[in-house]
Structure 1
């Protein structure tokens, strides 16, 4: 047994995750009732990540800002520009794909007990209110906008305190990072439980009626991940972008696909950025920020499902309105929560652009929840892996300008 555990620990985390994934699928197919208790591993894993992520982000950002050296360059402007550009391009890709491959939906009864935002102004107001949220409440509710705001303010206030205080804050940050590494080491068990629970309880039969819709959604996300993002990466680093793109998809996208939460994947992205040798002053802020505003997958979901409703209802859409939809979906996506299914409740905002009544829009949201087994997983994988990718691109671009060598390290 000891030798078996030793050999297991010598495998890379990705290989162990793949093994856990295969075991989860097999158990869900051959013994869904007998193996039902293993689903708890998935809940425990995601719960542990969600529990530690808010306080980790709080201390990481506060430590990074308080210990920031005057004159030390950061790439936050470049990262934010990349986030916004990627989200807008994702919405544009989805609009173009929806025109080329129009999808019709089967709309039936409305979806009850779901309250979407009333408009873009309401979304923006909610974002601003989250900024001034009570810090304790922000930590308990995992309100990352509020956590970032308070961590930035406290970090600035602590810049002139004695070094001993800064060291203590840094020690807390390092200790929380170690806790996260311990939690992530249980990822194979967690993902085994997650995939087992998904297949055993929901199956894939319900997805067959929405095959074309899923193909358009997943096709757009793959196009962003494998074509648009590599082009953006190449423009920045001026070398083959795919080693970096594939590393981010492998190390971040796989876990995000199964946790279905950008917030829960923040610790994973932090570890990835550290392995890439990026500046902690940058990624300790950009990664949690990306989990909130870098929502390419959400922009795709909003645009595709909205235009599917438009096509179903026979509404004519001109190029100008389609462009406005791309912008609206990008803005709305930035207001999507970093939890499973967060983007679906913003579909009525986009539907309102075409005069689609709320009860019909909520039926589209219902369709989104049906295909969400796959759609939301792929959306989160794109969103979260792109957080790490664009953070790396911004810094590697700076390295290139300074004549430094860019090396994509391999996981040990």
Structure 2
């Protein structure tokens, strides 16, 4: 048994995840009953990620700020600027692609009345501010990453001038939480097996195929953001060939994030990649957790594409100023709800409100989003998480080790 466990630890995680996917599909095809039985593995995996990710963000960010040397330059401002520019350009690309390849949806009843999307951009900003001052225990319990991040920054600043012993304890706690998340991610093949088996046993293959064109546009736009927009931003910033960096980040961060579907849980992977690239720890120890909360180009693409698909379905004409406004709304909204499960989908009613579309219709689109979420959410997370490292590296003063 010890030899088997040791061999599992040494195996390539991506290969094991792919095997888990294949086994999940095979089990769903052979026996839906067996697929529902192994779905417990997926529920345990997702539950573990949800449980540990908020605590990880709190501990990592507070430790990074508290242990930062007094007077050390973090170089965070240019990274945040790239986060905002990248998210907006991704939303704009989604507008252009939606105009070039219009998609229509099959709207029917069945929207989830239990969901409560915001009704205006003012509501988004208000919700963002209220989330910031949420009770820290409540923020941790509900996965309110905006609140968790706010408290983490506050704790880090408060303990910045604490004793060396206190900082050692915080660093040990940070290392311990990172090891726990790495252990959970190492079990991803079993979790993916359960998730894939359950998804295909419940929805079948026809449900995804029915929205094939929509998925192609969503994933295609996200790939465009990853392979064209991000490299262009990096080239303008560094004046160097961006693709070695971009491909490295997609391979070592994006692939893992695709399967875990959690930017927060992918933080240790990104931190390890930044260390491997030779980036400054004072910078990436803050920019990576911040990016997992606020850098959401994939979410902006999802909001924009699904909103314009709804507009096309209803035959509503869209002018250029409104399209630009939609890109801005998607940019703000993507960052404002990044901590909410399915946050990008829940902001669709807000974006639809720009075109006078009722909540009843918009919530049906949300339901469609959840249906294709097994692919959409994975691609979205892969883009979001890999971009965190790309932009952090682009703003680095040190030579990047590729």
Measured against the shorter chain, the TM-score band is: over 0.9
- Aligned pairs for 1:230-269 (under 5 A) are 230-269=231-270
1:188-214 Cα shifts (integer Å, max 9, x gaps)? 222222222222222221123322222
Take 1:346 and 1:41, find their aligned partners in 2: how far apart are those partners? 30
Shift of 1:280: 3.0
State the Cα deviation string for residues 345-385 of structure 1 (Å, max 9, x = none). 11111111112222222222232223223222222221222
* Distance in 1 of aligned mates of 2:200 and 2:317: 39
Q: Distance in 2 between matches of 1:244 and 1:32?
A: 42
CA distance in 2, matches of 1:364, 1:2: 49
Tell me if the contact between 2:131 and 2:146 (Cα under 8 Å) persists in the aligned partners.
yes
SS in 1 for 2:210: helix
SS in 2 for 1:103: coil
Change (3 A) 1:8 1:357: closer
**Shift in Å, 1:57:** 1.9
The Cα of 1:88 is off from its aligned counterpart by 0.2
Segment of structure 1 superposing worse, 380-389 or 76-85: 380-389
Question: Contact 1:296–1:383 at 8 Å: present in 2 too?
Answer: yes
Question: Please, which runs of 5 or more residues in structure 1 have no aligned partner?
Answer: 400-404
Structure 2 residues without counterparts, runs of 5 or longer:
none
Query: Does residue 1:407 correspond to 2:401, yes or no?
Result: yes
TM value normalised by structure 2:
0.92
Q: Secondary structure of 1:344's partner?
A: helix
Aligned mates of 1:7, 1:135 — CA distance in 2:
40
* Aligned equivalents of 1:183, 1:341: Cα separation in 2: 21
1:394 and 1:28, CA in 2 relative to 1: closer, same or farther beyond 3 A? farther
Aligned pair 1:125/2:119, yes or no? no
Q: What is the aligned partner in structure 2 of residue 88 from structure 1?
A: 88
- Is the contact made by 2:296 and 2:338 (CA closer than 8 Å) also made in structure 1? no
Residue matched to 1:103: 103
Query: Which deviates further from its counterpart, 49-58 or 317-326?
Result: 49-58
Q: Which residue of 2 aligns with 1:277?
A: 278
Alpha-carbon shift at residue 4 of structure 1 (Å): 5.1
- Equivalent pair of 1:303/1:329 in contact (CA under 8 Å): yes
Separation in structure 2 between the aligned mates of residue 299 and residue 23 of structure 1, nearest angstrom: 33
CA-CA distance at 1:49 after TM superposition? 2.3
Name the CA shift for 1:162/1:112 in 2 (closer, same or farther; >3 Å): closer
Task: Give RMSD over aligned pairs.
Answer: 2.2
- After superposition, residues 1-400 of structure 1 pair within 5 angstroms as 5-109=5-109, 111-113=111-113, 114-395=115-396, 398-399=397-398
* C-alpha contact 1:144 1:288 (8 A) present in aligned 2: no
Runs of 4+ aligned structure 1 residues displaced above 6 Å come to none
Q: 1:197 to 1:239 in 2, by over 3 A?
A: farther
Maintained 8 Å contact 1:221/1:379: yes
Q: By how many angstroms is 1:126 displaced?
A: 1.0
1:23–1:112 distance in 2 versus 1, CA, 3 Å: closer
**Are the structure 2 counterparts of residues 106 and 79 from structure 1 closer, same or farther at C-alpha, using a change threshold of 3 Å?**
same
State the number of aligned residues. 401
